[in-house]
Structure 1
Amino acid sequence: MPRGSELNAFVEASLEPVIFRGAGKDLPIVQAARKSASAASQLLLSFHSGRPVTVYRADRETRGRFHYTPALDGFNFSGSREDLPAVLDELQRGAQQAIYVGSTDLDLFFPGIREANDPGVAGAEGANGAPVVASLWMGNRTITAAHYDHSNNCALCAAGRRRFTLFPPDQIANLYPGPLEPTPGGQVVTMVDFAAPDLDRFPGFPDAMKAAVSGVLEPGDVIVYPAMWWHQVEALGDFNILLNWWWNAVPDYVDTPQTTLLHALLSLRQRPAHERKAWAAIFDYYAFADPAEARDHLPDHIRGPLGAVDAALARRLRAQVTRKLQR
């Protein structure tokens, strides 16, 4: 698979998910998992910092789908801080509940493990980029409902098997997103139960499935996909480990568009339809079209934020936005 900064060029060229079969087969964590769940557990413990991990538990009736309650008055799972050795032992013995240890920071909880098991993501952030974020995901047979992430993703199936079902960003309406908050894991998730979709409530879901791509990862397989692709991840074994790396090919002073979305809901959604249509054209012109369209007819000295934005200008823009929000 492409390595380091080559990943960005690859993602921009493909703009769709790609599975690299066996790309991580020689990594220590994969080699240990191929021996046994016990060997994989021992490797994790050899790097463990001793910090308790966050464990989410759900009854088997949920089929391991961590989501909302049927009445939508809460979540169908609980969370707690637990000692890692006990969790690993429970998984190896065959847990009675669905167990999910999600998004556990490798550097904080397993210092040194990312360097020893990197399939080639180091350096993907490029110059001035925010550091790559590496995490561990572990558990038994669980389902993470389809959602999108703001970053590009590279995921290594280390133990067990995982099915990824992915959708291009333009399928958002056919996936029927849930509330912006609260969310089961920090990101908006689909309300559709893929195993038993209610097509009366979600009639567009079959169209989403027509656009979907899906694949099962075996130990050592690596999947890479662009930011903003919706993805449901199903762990298919009683003991599984996945490592992932998130990165963005933008300078670290670039803010998250999620903040912009929240303010758009405050400032745009209640305006008359003709005004919303006008603002859509303005956003297209300034934010989504080729940047040259809005800037090239202006001389350099008056382009301001329409020109190149550096860290200093980003700070001034952020301060200007903050002042305007303080009302």
Structure 2
Amino acid sequence: MAEADPSIFAMLPPVREVEAADAAALDSLLRDADTPFVVRGIAAHWPLVQAGRQSAQAARDYLLAHARDRAFSVSIGTNGNGGRLFYDDDMAMNFRMMKAGLPEIMAWIAEGEGRAEAPTVYLGSVDLHEYFDGLHAANHLDMGARDCLASIWIGTPARIAAHNDVPRNLAIAAVGQRRFTLFPRQQFRNLYLGPVDNTPAGRVVSMVDFHAPDLDRHPRFAEALESAQMVELRPGDALHIPSMWWHHVEGLDGFNVLVNYWWRETPRWLGHPQDALHHALLAIRDLPPDEKAHWRDMFDHYVFDADEAVAAHIPETARGVLSPLTPETAGRLRAYLLRQLSR
């Protein structure tokens, strides 16, 4: 097996660093950016960051003081997986999902701290408002008029396979250090993506082990590295990840906490592109080649190359979903699709 020298990752170019003195400066950066950037220390004043600087236990106590009394979903990895939450040899998950109260989960984390053989404990994308009282109010960045989903990620050392997300993302390291390796969206072919219907957390992931890349099996990964960037976030640092950029994430310390904001520039009532991809796999991919070519033309006409000429010959009041979508027409289209899919 030909393996890449691990030092190659340390030699990747760093993510661009910028400054944001206030909310207006951050807003301007987020509005104009189409590539990743880092703002160092922008959340250094957070009480959670300050607690983490005292100790991991102080950070856990701070979180517990704000946690609601409800069950949290947690991933428990198998011993000896090096923190990599991924597939096993049979393409099942190498971790199990369960529910428990946060005090119990924090006790597991504390018990395993410093033990190399301790299983990975990982809470991913926990809604800050639903699961905590007052935590977001005391630890947040001013995101302006953006309609954001605020989430928290808590756990022991972990490696999350390269994946991407449709929303834009501002990720803030609160406790512990995080390493991000990022790739432009067009690198998906060189990341050797896994199944789309059997994923660790709902998003398709790269099958490449970034700690031991097999360049015989995944030769194009070397090409992906040519456009990769890397950054290690310290507590209080924030990273902007543009929509659909691929990112491999590692929690490097014994206890790690990250807070992130997700938002889309498009209305929430629009459909999710991933759903359209799944439907195309169901309805188009396995058609005869000539029919598939026709549907490619139809998609170009109505979706990818659509302009005013598509519906110019139809009375304006009768264009339906060929007009720019509104919440009402989007709702009717969604209802129609649900009826069709349920037949």
Deviation at 1:60, TM superposition (A): 4.0
Report the counterpart of residue 115 of structure 1 in structure 2.
137
Q: Which moved more, 1:151-160 or 1:268-277?
A: 268-277
The share of aligned pairs that are identical, in percent, is 39
User: Cα–Cα, structure 1 residues 20 and 202, in superposed 2: closer, same or farther, change >3 Å?
Assistant: same
How far 1:267 sits from its partner (Å)? 1.4
Q: Displacement of 1:89 after TM fit?
A: 3.6
Say if 1:157 and 1:241, in contact at 8 Å, map to a contact too: yes
1:176 aligns with 2:198: no
Is residue 6–residue 124 contact of structure 1 (8 Å, CA) maintained in 2? no
Match of 2:6 in 1: none
Residue ranges of structure 2 left out of the alignment (5+ in a row): 1-19
CA contact (8 A) 1:4 1:121 kept: no
Q: Is 2:171 the partner of 1:155? A: yes
* Alignment TM-score, normalising by the size of structure 1: 0.88
Cα offset, 1:137, TM superposition: 0.8
Contact 1:124–1:247 (Cα < 8 Å) also in 2 = yes
Looking at structure 2, the residues matched to 3 and 307 of structure 1 have their Cα atoms a distance apart, in angstroms, of: 36
Which of 100, 108, 119 in structure 1 is aligned with 2:122? 100
Equivalent position of 1:129 in the other structure: none
Give me the whole-angstrom Cα distance separating, in 2, the residues matched to 1:144 and 1:41: 22
Q: Which residue of 2 aligns with 1:87?
A: 105
CA shift for structure 1 position 272:
2.9
User: Which residue does the alignment assign to 1:322?
Assistant: 338
Residue of structure 2 equivalent to 1:13: 32
Correspondence for 2:146 among 124, 127, 136: 124
SS at match of 2:275: helix
Cα distance between partner residues in 2 of 1:265 and 1:4? 43
SS of corresponding position for 1:211? coil
Secondary structure of the corresponding residue to residue 179 of structure 2:
strand
Is 1:246 paired with 2:268? no
Aligned to 2:145, what secondary structure does the other structure show? Answer: coil
CA contact (8 A) 1:67 1:77 kept: yes
CA contact (8 A) 1:160 1:236 kept: yes
Q: Does 1:56 align with 2:78?
A: no
Q: Which amino acid aligns with 1:237?
A: D
1:262 matches 2:278: yes
- The CA distance in 2 between the partners of 1:97 and 1:258, in whole Å, is 32
TM value normalised by structure 2 = 0.85
Q: CA deviation at 1:245?
A: 1.5
Matched-pair contact (CA < 8 Å) for 2:80–2:119: no
Unaligned runs of 5+ in 1: 126-131
Give matches, 1:12-91, under 5 Å: 13-72=32-91, 74-91=92-109
- CA distance in 1: counterparts of 2:339 and 2:331, whole angstroms: 12
Letter matched to residue 113 of structure 1: L
